[in-house]
């Protein structure tokens, strides 16, 4: 399970960070449109299409990365009060009740949507540019598959948490958090996590808590 979780996290992180560059593309496109529209009275015919295509692609392809980091919206006014095992049991149930049926439906519907778009070589009707958009409909399917892969990893996380009583933290985030805490405290990196904790993240929260308690007593 740990191997699959590491694979899914790396895959989601790669796609999330790669497609994050679309923010720059969108910003440049919108900035250029504002400049030529209001500065030279020469608006483009493609800026609107560019903005919603890039934002939509970023939104969809970043979903799996956000899921791997626990960044999606949740009603945590109750969730955060529960013990990790209770959180994991509730999440595991909700994944099978809502997440997987919803994602599978998204993939099936997205496939039909994309197939029809490719068949007719669909172009945008939102602007006179007539930009081809059929290839972007495939993003729906790709995003659904990535979410499904990451969702399975999250289920494994829930199972491991039920067994150990601690959440397994994404390895990359563990390393970044540890380095940041080490810099703030003036100690060497690695002080806040044992080698085992650095490998799988288990028990990291308790180590941080103990270090903070020791500092307060001193």
User: Which single residue is written with the structure tokens 């934002």?
Assistant: 55
Distance between CA 184 and CA 55 in Å, rounded? 36
At residue 130, the pLDDT reads: 85
CB atoms within 10 A of CB 150: 23
What tens digit of pLDDT does each residue of 75-113 get? 777 888 889 999 999 999 999 999 999 999 999 999 999
Regions of the chain where pLDDT drops below 50: 174-175, 177-178, 188-204
Token pair of 76 as six digits: 């945590």
At residue 200, the pLDDT reads: 42
Distance between CA 57 and CA 140 in Å, rounded? 8
Instruction: Output phi, psi for 123, to 5 deg.
Output: -120, 160
DSSP string spanning 34-72?
Answer: HHHHHHSS---SSHHHHHHHHHHHHHHHTHHHHHHTT-S
CA-based nearest residue to 9, from 127, 206, 154, 120: 154
At residue 106, the pLDDT reads: 96
Token pair of 101 as six digits: 């049926």
At residue 126, the pLDDT reads: 82
Distances (CA, A) of 35 to 39, 93, 137: 5, 51, 30
Query: CB-hemisphere CA count at 13 Å for 84?
Result: 17
CA-based nearest residue to 74, from 175, 182, 154: 154
DSSP string spanning 115-174?
Answer: HHHHHHT-B-SSSTT--B-HHHHHHHHHHHHHHHHHHHHHHHHHHHHHHHSSPPPPHHHH
CA-based nearest residue to 12, from 199, 153, 137: 153
At residue 99, the pLDDT reads: 96
User: Which single residue is written with the structure tokens 């308790």?
Assistant: 206
Compute the chain's Rg from CA coordinates.
22
């Amino acid at each position: 399970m740990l191997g699959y979780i590491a694979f899914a996290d790396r895959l989601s992180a790669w796609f999330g960070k790669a497609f994050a560059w679309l923010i720059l593309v969108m910003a440049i496109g919108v900035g250029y449109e504002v400049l030529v529209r209001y500065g030279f009275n020469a608006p483009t015919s493609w800026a609107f299409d560019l903005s919603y295509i890039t934002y939509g692609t970023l939104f969809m392809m970043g979903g799996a990365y956000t899921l791997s980091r626990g960044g999606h919206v949740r009603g945590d006014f109750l969730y955060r009060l529960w013990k990790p095992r209770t959180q994991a049991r509730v999440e595991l149930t909700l994944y099978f009740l809502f997440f997987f049926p919803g994602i599978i439906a998204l993939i099936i519907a997205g496939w039909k949507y994309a197939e029809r778009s490719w068949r007719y070589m669909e172009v945008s009707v939102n602007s006179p540019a007539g930009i081809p958009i059929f290839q972007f409909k495939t993003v729906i399917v790709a995003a659904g598959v990535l979410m499904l892969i990451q969702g399975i990893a999250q289920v494994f996380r829930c199972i491991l948490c039920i067994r150990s009583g601690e959440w397994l933290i994404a390895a990359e985030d563990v390393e970044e958090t540890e380095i940041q805490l080490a810099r703030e405290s003036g100690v060497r990196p690695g002080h806040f996590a044992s080698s085992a904790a650095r490998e799988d993240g288990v028990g990291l929260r308790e180590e941080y808590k103990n270090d903070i308690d020791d500092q307060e007593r001193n």
